[in-house]
């Protein structure tokens, strides 16, 4: 209803049907002059009341009065609701401000706690660092003190040793002088006595010579008389002569028979217990070696793990473990052994696995190399048969490992080999034609493509020993670092010390740097570290010394690879003949165990 009284400046338009409001009269009018002082009622305009009264009358007269009152009431209610909603919004804003303030206080408190935690951690780390530094300083001072005491003890021992040597030398000198004086006095006295008794001594010598001559002559006469009487008595008795001749004849026959029997027995013992000339190393002992080295208990010990000390890739390790288990069960069940070919670069663990396989299976092992066959010439066939005869006498079964087998098991049709080597190869093929329950054949080669086809036919299992990967190199470096560096340094029995550095990180770094190197090269690297420590003045192996040996090993490995590649390129150029003019498609066809057929 405020618009009825003219109180609002922005007056809304009256509802339809109501009379228009009269314009307000101009201000100023009937009140007194401007000279009088104005009170609070001096500016009151009664026209508003008049307009309100007039509007109320007009509204009562209008037919829309009720609707106008309802509209006014609704406007007031809307105004009140808007006012209440603003109050609610204000209260919500206040609550939100309170929540924001609590959240900010929580964040500040959390930041304060985090900062305090960081400060406590930093203080604890700093205190721990100080404690470690104090401990290291104490250790360093103790080490310096120990070294100083050791140096003083060594100097004291050296001084005592020098004094003892000087005393001994002085005593020896005095003793030598006294001995010389005694000998000189005795010599002078003996010479004086001999000069005084020269005639008596010569007479004694003459009498002794005459007596000895008479005794010898009488002995000769007596012996001649006795021998002559005995010979005449023997010749005159024919029974004694006959018995003597028969005894000499039987003696000769016995000597001849004993010599032949000894030869036969010797050959039998050699075949059973002796080691053939082609065998370089074996676990079987002869009788003499068993007496000299009583290791029978060691031979009867429990079988070892086939992969103990052998580092291989997981796939290859699983495969060779299956081979080891199958070989062990074959021996226990007296089955037929399978022949194995192991090929790969040098130093990848072929020989070591062959020995471990024999020990794991409870078998004896014998190692021979193919390079020893060719120099034997005509004796190669006999030596080869002796090897297999000796292998068949093993009660535990024999694992015959042939290293560098491609040296004499070459192709007979394409390779230029001597007749003696060809005969030896044929003897080898004859003895390995069938599988045996007495021996197991294991061949190792770096060039298996050079084998004769008959050799390939006798192979039952082929295993590729590749170069170690990153994980295998890491295990190998750790293994040989422990074996050649840590164990001697911590054992205390050798002149070797190890500087302080991160051993595990260094081994991982070395494993990455030794890419392409074999297990044997990594083991030689461990030996080089040990030699570097022994060659130093104080016997301390430092990280710089290890890096230097690794750099040298890597350079040497690259140089070897360059030589190998150059040799392969030269062989490839040599083995590639120029194509003859006027021919096309001439090639050689290889048939197994036959001569080459020329096909055009």
Res 174: pLDDT: 92
Structure tokens at 520: 């044997």
Which position has the higher pLDDT, 4 or 207?
A: 207
pLDDT in tens, 110-136: 999 999 999 999 999 999 999 999 999
Average pLDDT, the chain: 79
**pLDDT category of residue 411 using cuts at 50, 70 and 90:** confident
Task: Summarize the chain as % helix, strand, coil (round to 5).
Answer: 65, 5, 30
**pLDDT category of residue 163 using cuts at 50, 70 and 90:** very high
Evaluate if residue 493 carries a pLDDT over 70.
no
Ranges 211-220, 234-243, 289-298, most confident: 211-220
Which position has the higher pLDDT, 577 or 305?
A: 305
Buried b (16+ CB within 10 A) or exposed e, 533-547: beeeeeeebbeebbe
What is the C-alpha to C-alpha distance for residues 373 and 387, in angstroms, rounded to an integer? Answer: 12
CB contact at 8 A, 473 and 518 = no
Q: What's the gap between Cα 369 and its chain centre?
A: 27
What is the C-alpha to C-alpha distance for residues 322 and 360, in angstroms, rounded to an integer? Answer: 12
Res 135: pLDDT: 92
**pLDDT category of residue 594 using cuts at 50, 70 and 90:** very low
Evaluate if residue 189 carries a pLDDT over 60.
yes
**pLDDT category of residue 40 using cuts at 50, 70 and 90:** low
Residue with tokens 């890739």: 313
What does the pLDDT average to over 2-16?
Answer: 46
- Sequence spans of domains, the chain: 298-466, 471-571
**pLDDT category of residue 15 using cuts at 50, 70 and 90:** very low
Contacts of 472 (CB under 8 A, 6+ apart): 311, 312, 313
- Tell me the percentage of the chain whose pLDDT exceeds 70: 82
CB contact at 8 A, 366 and 281 = yes
The three-point CA angle 267-272-276 to 5° equals: 75
pLDDT in tens, 42-60: 677 778 788 878 877 777 7
Which position has the higher pLDDT, 260 or 340?
A: 340
Res 124: pLDDT: 92
**pLDDT category of residue 30 using cuts at 50, 70 and 90:** very low
Which position has the higher pLDDT, 415 or 207?
A: 207
What is the C-alpha to C-alpha distance for residues 129 and 140, in angstroms, rounded to an integer? Answer: 16
- Tell me the percentage of the chain whose pLDDT exceeds 90: 18
Count of helices and strands (H, E) across the chain = 16, 10
What does the pLDDT average to over 248-260?
Answer: 81
Evaluate if residue 505 carries a pLDDT over 70.
yes
Evaluate if residue 6 carries a pLDDT over 50.
no
Evaluate if residue 491 carries a pLDDT over 90.
no
Res 278: pLDDT: 79
What is the C-alpha to C-alpha distance for residues 304 and 311, in angstroms, rounded to an integer? Answer: 16
Buried b (16+ CB within 10 A) or exposed e, 324-342: beebbebbeeeeebbbbbb
What is the C-alpha to C-alpha distance for residues 425 and 384, in angstroms, rounded to an integer? Answer: 9
Residue of 11, 90, 98 lying closest to 55 (CA atoms): 11
What is the C-alpha to C-alpha distance for residues 524 and 340, in angstroms, rounded to an integer? Answer: 28
pLDDT in tens, 552-566: 999 998 998 889 888
Torsion of the alpha carbons at 204, 209, 215 and 219, rounded to the nearest 10: 160
Evaluate if residue 300 carries a pLDDT over 70.
no
Buried b (16+ CB within 10 A) or exposed e, 397-427: bbbbbbbbbbbbbbbbeeeebeebbeebbeb
What is the C-alpha to C-alpha distance for residues 481 and 3, in angstroms, rounded to an integer? Answer: 104
CB contact at 8 A, 274 and 389 = no
Evaluate if residue 11 carries a pLDDT over 90.
no
pLDDT in tens, 434-483: 888 888 999 998 888 888 888 888 899 899 888 888 888 898 888 888 88
Res 147: pLDDT: 92
Res 599: pLDDT: 30
Evaluate if residue 187 carries a pLDDT over 60.
yes
Res 316: pLDDT: 87
Q: Which CATH superfamily is domain 298-466 in?
A: P-loop containing nucleotide triphosphate hydrolases (3.40.50.300)
- The strand pairing partners of 188, in sequence order, are none
What does the pLDDT average to over 425-430?
Answer: 90
Res 155: pLDDT: 92
What is the C-alpha to C-alpha distance for residues 183 and 190, in angstroms, rounded to an integer? Answer: 10
Evaluate if residue 511 carries a pLDDT over 50.
yes
Q: Kindly list the distances between the CA atom of residue 358 and the CA atoms of 65, 95, 351, in Å, as whole numbers in the listed order.
A: 123, 86, 11
Assign 377 to helix, strand or coil.
Answer: coil
């Amino acid at each position: 209803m405020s618009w009825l009284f003219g109180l609002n400046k922005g007056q809304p338009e009256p509802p339809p049907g109501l009379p228009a409001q009269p314009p307000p009269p101009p201000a100023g009018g009937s009140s007194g002059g401007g000279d009088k002082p104005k009170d609070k009622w001096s500016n009151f305009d009664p026209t508003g009341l008049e307009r309100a009264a007039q509007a109320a009358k007009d509204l009562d007269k209008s037919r829309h009065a009720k609707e106008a009152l309802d509209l006014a009431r609704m406007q007031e209610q809307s105004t009140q609701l808007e006012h209440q909603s603003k109050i609610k919004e204000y209260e919500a804003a206040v609550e939100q401000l309170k929540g924001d303030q609590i959240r900010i206080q929580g964040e500040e408190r959390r930041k304060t706690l985090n900062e305090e935690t960081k400060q406590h951690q930093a203080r604890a780390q700093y205190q721990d660092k100080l404690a470690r530094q104090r401990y290291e300083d104490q250790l360093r001072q103790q080490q310096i003190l120990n070294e100083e005491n050791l140096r003083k003890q060594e100097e004291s021992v050296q001084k005592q040793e020098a004094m003892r040597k000087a005393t001994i030398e002085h005593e020896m000198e005095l003793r030598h002088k006294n001995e010389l004086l005694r000998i000189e006095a005795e010599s002078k006295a003996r010479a004086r006595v001999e000069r005084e008794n020269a005639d008596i001594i010569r007479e004694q010598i003459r009498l002794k010579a005459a007596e000895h001559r008479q005794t010898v002559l009488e002995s000769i006469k007596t012996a001649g008389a006795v021998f002559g009487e005995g010979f005449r008595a023997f010749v005159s008795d024919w029974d004694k002569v006959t018995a003597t001749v028969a005894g000499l004849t039987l003696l000769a026959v016995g000597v001849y028979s004993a010599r032949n029997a000894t030869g036969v027995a010797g050959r039998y013992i050699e075949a059973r217990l002796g080691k053939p000339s082609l065998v370089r190393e074996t676990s079987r002992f002869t009788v003499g070696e068993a007496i000299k080295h009583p290791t029978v208990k060691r031979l009867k010990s429990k079988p070892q793990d086939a992969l103990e000390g052998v580092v291989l890739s997981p796939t290859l390790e699983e495969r060779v473990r299956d081979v080891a288990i199958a070989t062990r069960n074959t021996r226990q069940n007296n089955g037929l052994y399978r022949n194995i070919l192991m090929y790969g670069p040098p130093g990848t663990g072929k020989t070591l696995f062959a020995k471990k396989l024999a020990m794991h299976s409870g078998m004896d092992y014998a190692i021979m190399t193919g390079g020893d066959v060719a120099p034997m010439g005509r004796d190669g066939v006999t030596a080869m048969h002796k090897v297999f005869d000796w292998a068949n006498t093993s009660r535990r079964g024999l694992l015959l490992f042939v290293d560098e087998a491609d040296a004499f098991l070459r192709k007979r049709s394409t390779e230029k080999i001597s007749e003696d080597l060809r005969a030896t190869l044929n003897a080898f093929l004859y003895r390995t034609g069938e599988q045996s329950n007495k021996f197991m054949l294991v061949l190792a080669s770096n060039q298996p493509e050079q084998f004769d086809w008959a050799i390939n036919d006798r192979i039952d299992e082929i295993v590729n020993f590749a170069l170690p990967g990153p994980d295998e190199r890491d295990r190998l470096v750790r293994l040989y670092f422990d074996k050649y560096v840590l164990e001697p340094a911590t054992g205390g029995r050798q002149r070797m010390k190890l500087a302080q550095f991160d051993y595990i990180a260094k081994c991982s770094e070395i494993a990455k740097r030794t890419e392409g190197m074999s297990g044997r090269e990594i083991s030689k690297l461990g030996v080089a570290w040990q030699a570097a420590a022994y060659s130093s003045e104080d016997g301390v192996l430092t990280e710089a010394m290890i890096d230097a040996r690794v750099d040298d090993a890597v350079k040497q490995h690259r140089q070897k690879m360059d030589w190998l590649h150059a040799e392969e390129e030269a062989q490839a150029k040599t083995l590639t003949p120029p194509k003859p003019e006027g021919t096309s498609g001439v090639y050689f066809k290889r048939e197994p165990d036959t001569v080459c057929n020329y096909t055009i």
